Structure 1
Amino acid sequence: MAKRAASYPVIVGGHICLDIIPSIQGGPFQMVPGKLLNIGEAALSTGGAVANTGLALHRLGIPVQLMGKVGNDFFGEAILSILKKQHESLAEGMIVADGEPSSYSIVINPPHVDRMFLHCTGANDTFQAEDITEEALQEAGLFHFGYPPLMRRMYEHNGAELSRLMQKAKEAGATTSMDMAKPDPDAKAGQIDWQRLLAEVLPYVDLFLPSIEEILYMLRRETYEAMKESHGSEQLIEHVEASLLAELSSELLAMGAAIVVFKLGEHGLYLRTTSEAARLENTGRCGLGDDAAGWLNRELYAPCFKVEVAGTTGAGDCTIAGFLSGFLQGLQPEETLLGAVGTGACNVERPDAVSGIPSWADVQARIAAGWEAYPPNPSFAEARIQLQMNAAVWQGTRDLEMTNESVKGTKKL
């Protein structure tokens, strides 16, 4: 049984939008001025960290409040309607701003061509610390904030508003968690000194969970640009060495984060934790407290589980939801990583962002039944890896205890 139940609600704040995805079938597709192009019906879905991570937590069985910001317009009504279809309560904490436009994206995804996005940031740009009430933070066990690089007020003035928000949550006693998004190099967000911004914010962030490409851009911009030019792609994980993971995570821990997790796309997750026991113990209402010993000074890498991939929309956000779920239930870092990559694997079995996410017990049962993992990335072979990630052979760790009576008696790890 988990050491503690997730009895406190989680607040997920940050970026939310409406994705409008026209169906484009057939042969060559080219947008020509003055030409009418026949396309199919459009799918509507929510996007952004609030929807993806928040709804995934809900489906895993974690109590959650969603606090994204929308306008009182048609797109805002559509976003709230989609949330209510999952559960009526999920729209109750949403912030509706009179006179502001809701954020939306038009996703142009023709066959055999890279996707294109037309995006309006809308009300996300005016999100501020005061939008999250003191009362809500006093009641929350964990506050997770996602995608500040896509929210103007969060990154302008070197992130002063983001620092104010995370400090407010921390001082209210909540465990704090933050995810990122890669800034647009051609926009104002791309010109921000992100290293300086993170140094101001991370003392108030317990769990920091960016992707490796995002953090490489923010902390090593010249290295990022050189690698992109050398390899002709922004997908750089294939070319990242273990030493770089260690360097970047060490820098982020020195800035003040207690736990750093890098999303590695199809290669899984990398975790690094502080060596300062006092910092781990000071991880808020749903934090580690006296259980910090197992998390102290750890470096772990977990490859992904094998699945048939139908789509990768929201995969990183859902993986974060899995990590937060394990952490909230008091699991050790090995088990937490297993649950995270397992949740992410369930996500990519469906083309949309969250419909593939089952209950936490179902994720655990699938792992316990011997779910096969991909071999570890050879680039990380020299890291201080303490978790040999094959679900059928997990050396040196205690049995995984199931929370669902129906799966007890299955193969132990």
Structure 2
Amino acid sequence: MRVGCMGELLVEIMRDKVDVPLGVPGVFLGPYPSGAPAIFADCLARLKGEVFFVGAIGRDDFGFLVLERLQKDGVDTSGIKILDDFTTGVAFVTYFSDGSRKFIYHISRAASGQIFPEDVREEDFVKVDLLHVMGSTMLINENCRASYEKAIRIVREAKKRVSFDPNFRPELLGKDRARELFLPILRESFIVFPTEEELSVLTGEQDPLRAAEKVLSEGPEIVAIKQGKRGSTVVTKKEVYTLPAFPVEEVDPTGAGDCYCAGFLAALSRGMSVEEAGRFANAVGALAVTRKGPMEGAPTWEEVEAFLERF
């Protein structure tokens, strides 16, 4: 299965300890290659998926750090531009002991935000079997939104499928505008990967199962709810699968949700059932949190199989 992906390429710089606000002088770790679409693409490539990526970096060390990581893991980076007039995007992040996190982004006016419809070439996207849409990219600016809209149109006209991770970031755009942007994509998608909070943003419902039913009524076949330390719940029109998380020592949760999506789609492409794909994705997400850095814990297919043999 060839998967098309597009979006922000950036480095992440994070606090070395939890509960330290970003505005307080102190120690940061990084830079780590990051960007939700990039984490997804890198993980899927490590799971033996074929991935094509469209994005932009600056001609700087941060950009080459991200580009070289994607290339090393097998992502087709022929759609990535290297820009002289923009620097590579940066995200600063801190985590709190209640599980919440806070970001400061340098994205929309960096290379990350310089994706335009002309970068979306029809000859590239008609070749993909699936387009994975990241909501965070839709929130960056108008040209990123228009680029994804063009990619979705090309893929759907070619009778190919769309998967959608809302990846809502309130630091980038408000809930009402995000819902307005996300609903048309949801209706074009066969699978949606929301968190419980994102389900509420999409539907206005606080109960996750009722919210998932609302999403399914819009057209998707599968809603895979990412629930962090609790695992995931996968909902179809006929079944609800509650899949507990695997016990691991968490080092850094950044990117676990993106890796979950990669694991789920990789498993489906290998012929696994929806329930089996959810369990496999839980394992991928669990392994992803065991190392510091958004991409550092992304496992290979063989590593996931070996991990699952222990349970």
Task: Report the TM-score, using the length of structure 1 for normalisation.
Answer: 0.65
1:247 aligns with 2:210: yes
User: Is the partner of 2:174 in helix, strand or coil?
Assistant: helix
- Quote the sequence identity (%): 25
Tell me if structure 1 keeps the 8 A contact 2:12–2:34. yes
Cα deviations across residues 171-206 of structure 1 (Å, max 9, x unaligned)?
A: 223321111222326x5x205444443332223212
Deviation at 1:164, TM superposition (A): 3.7
Counterparts in 2 of 1:177 and 1:97: CA distance versus 1, 3 Å: farther
Deviation at 1:356, TM superposition (A): 2.7
Counterparts in 2 of 1:341 and 1:348: CA distance versus 1, 3 Å: same
CA distance in 2, matches of 1:132, 1:263: 29
Q: How does 1:9-48 map to 2 (within 5 A)?
A: 9-21=2-14, 39=27, 42-48=29-35
Give 1:148's match in structure 2, choosing from 95, 119, 137: 137
CA distance in 2, matches of 1:336, 1:198: 24
Deviation at 1:322, TM superposition (A): 0.7
CA distance in 2, matches of 1:90, 1:342: 25
Give 1:326's match in structure 2, choosing from 241, 264, 267: 267
| Residues 332-341 or 350-359, more deviating | 350-359
Question: Which position in structure 1 is the counterpart of 2:127?
Answer: 139
Give 2:46's match in structure 1, choosing from 55, 59, 65: 59
Counterparts in 2 of 1:71 and 1:333: CA distance versus 1, 3 Å: same
1:219 aligns with 2:203: yes
Q: How does 1:232-271 map to 2 (within 5 A)?
A: 244-271=207-234
| Residues 246-255 or 349-358, more deviating | 349-358
Question: In the alignment, residue 254 of structure 2 is paired with which amino acid?
Answer: T
Tell me if structure 2 keeps the 8 A contact 1:166–1:205. no
Deviation at 1:108, TM superposition (A): 5.6
CA distance in 1, matches of 2:188, 2:83: 27
1:349 aligns with 2:290: yes
Deviation at 1:73, TM superposition (A): 4.5
Tell me if structure 2 keeps the 8 A contact 1:199–1:256. no
Tell me if structure 2 keeps the 8 A contact 1:128–1:165. no
Tell me if structure 1 keeps the 8 A contact 2:267–2:277. yes
CA distance in 2, matches of 1:366, 1:196: 40
| Residues 136-145 or 321-330, more deviating | 136-145
Give 2:170's match in structure 1, choosing from 184, 192, 195: 184
Instruction: Provide structure 1 residue ranges, at least 5 long, that are not aligned to the other structure.
Output: 1-7, 224-239, 275-296, 372-413
Deviation at 1:75, TM superposition (A): 3.4
Counterparts in 2 of 1:362 and 1:24: CA distance versus 1, 3 Å: closer
Tell me if structure 2 keeps the 8 A contact 1:9–1:63. yes
User: Is the partner of 1:67 in helix, strand or coil?
Assistant: strand
Q: How does 1:162-201 map to 2 (within 5 A)?
A: 162-184=148-170, 189-190=173-174, 192-201=176-185
CA distance in 1, matches of 2:188, 2:23: 46
Cα deviations across residues 116-145 of structure 1 (Å, max 9, x unaligned)?
A: 533111234343444222111122122212
Counterparts in 2 of 1:219 and 1:96: CA distance versus 1, 3 Å: farther
Question: In the alignment, residue 71 of structure 1 is paired with which amino acid?
Answer: G
Deviation at 1:151, TM superposition (A): 1.9
Task: Report the TM-score, using the length of structure 2 for normalisation.
Answer: 0.84
User: Is the partner of 2:126 in helix, strand or coil?
Assistant: helix
* The structure with more strand, counted as a fraction of residues: 2
User: Is the partner of 2:249 in helix, strand or coil?
Assistant: coil
Counterparts in 2 of 1:92 and 1:247: CA distance versus 1, 3 Å: same
Deviation at 1:11, TM superposition (A): 2.0
Instruction: Provide structure 2 residue ranges, at least 5 long, that are not aligned to the other structure.
Output: none
Tell me if structure 1 keeps the 8 A contact 2:79–2:119. no
Give 1:104's match in structure 2, choosing from 45, 70, 90: 90
Give 2:56's match in structure 1, choosing from 52, 61, 69: 69
| Larger relative contact order, structure 1 or 2 (CA cutoff 8 Å, min sep 6) | 2
Counterparts in 2 of 1:164 and 1:202: CA distance versus 1, 3 Å: farther
Q: State how many pairs are aligned.
A: 307
CA distance in 2, matches of 1:246, 1:366: 29
CA distance in 2, matches of 1:124, 1:79: 12
